[in-house]
Amino acid sequence: MPTYSDYGIVLNSSAYSEADKIFGIYTRENALVRAIGKGARRTTGRFGGKLDQLSCSQFHFAKGKNLDVISECEQINSFPLLKKDLHRLTNGILFLEIVSNFAHEQESESTLVYDLLYDGLNGLQHIENIDLFVIEFVLNFLSIHGFRPQFENCVSCSQEINKNEYEEMKGYLYSSVLGGLLCHKCSQFIYCKQIGVEVLDILCNKKSSGDNSVLKYRGYLRQTQELLMEHLNVRGKNKIKTFEIVASL
């Protein structure tokens, strides 16, 4: 049986048989791998906690007809600080769900997605402003996939957005379906919603998670996250469910 090795992060798992589980693993070179972990449903199984959701390992896979089989794995990072803080842990699971919702086998951008996910989970263990960090993660993820929202020109007619005009009105017109700002003319016949100047500042990365002057923006972080989740929901395989839990904490 041919074999291969790769670094991977466990996104999710489901029961396969009485003793075995199927794992969804995002790997650095092979993107999404769905593989069987034999004996993984037994608490005394040889994998221990190494196949828990969020765990990062070097995996050794045996190629199967339909599904590959995990033959060995050596854990690299279990992100232990995430598990000590419910808010951080839930956001970590949100990262996994976002990656899972766009993941396919053999994506050309797998290295970028894997590195972003690894750095995201690692950073989430210590970062002070979690909400802003989540926004940066989602924007970087969307950039990798070519889905970053468009803010410079009208997403419908490409006319440049006159920011002075909008700043006087204290808001912009945004279409989630088209993924960006609309000019006044296009907003008359395309469904859109008004977003505050502060939300656009956050989305345009005028604030970074290392910036101490984030107080002004604190009230707008949730609104910005909601807008990004809608953006992901329109483009991904499924609706992001974990965000509701994040928002309720």
CB of 155 to Zn ion, least distance (A): 8
Which residue number, 183 or 246, has a Cβ lying nearer to Zn ion? 183
- Select from 9, 154, 232, 246 the one that contacts Zn ion (CB under 5 A): 154
Binding to Zn ion by CB under 5 A, coded x per residue (else -) over 105-144, reads: ----------------------------------------
Binding to Zn ion by CB under 5 A, coded x per residue (else -) over 182-211, reads: -x--x-------------------------
Which residue number, 159 or 223, has a Cβ lying nearer to Zn ion? 159
CA-nearest of 122, 124, 144 to 134 is: 124
Q: Find the part of the chain contacting Zn ion (CB under 5 A) among 70-78, 102-110, 148-156, 206-214.
A: 148-156
User: How many residues belong to the site for Zn ion (CB under 5 A)?
Assistant: 6
SS (H, E, C) the chain: CCEEEEEEEEEEEEECCCCCEEEEEEECCCEEEEEEECCCCCCCCCCHHHHCCCCEEEEEEECCCCCEEEEEEEEEECCCCHHHCHHHHHHHHHHHHHHHHHCCECCCCHHHHHHHHHHHHHHHCCCCCHHHHHHHHHHHHHHHCCCCCECCECCCCCCECCHHHHHHHCCEEEECCCCEECCHHHHCCCCCEEECHHHHHHHCCCCCCCCCHHHHHHHHHHHHHHHHHHHHHHHCCCCCCHHHHHHHC
Find the binding residues for Zn ion in span 20-39 (CB under 5 A).
none
Binding to Zn ion by CB under 5 A, coded x per residue (else -) over 54-83, reads: ------------------------------
CA 203/CA 214 separation, integer angstroms: 13
CB of 193 to Zn ion, least distance (A): 16
CB of 177 to Zn ion, least distance (A): 14
Which residue number, 31 or 154, has a Cβ lying nearer to Zn ion? 154
Find the binding residues for Zn ion in span 155-184 (CB under 5 A).
156-157, 159, 183
CB of 182 to Zn ion, least distance (A): 6
Which residues bind to Zn ion, rule: CB under 5 A? 154, 156-157, 159, 183, 186
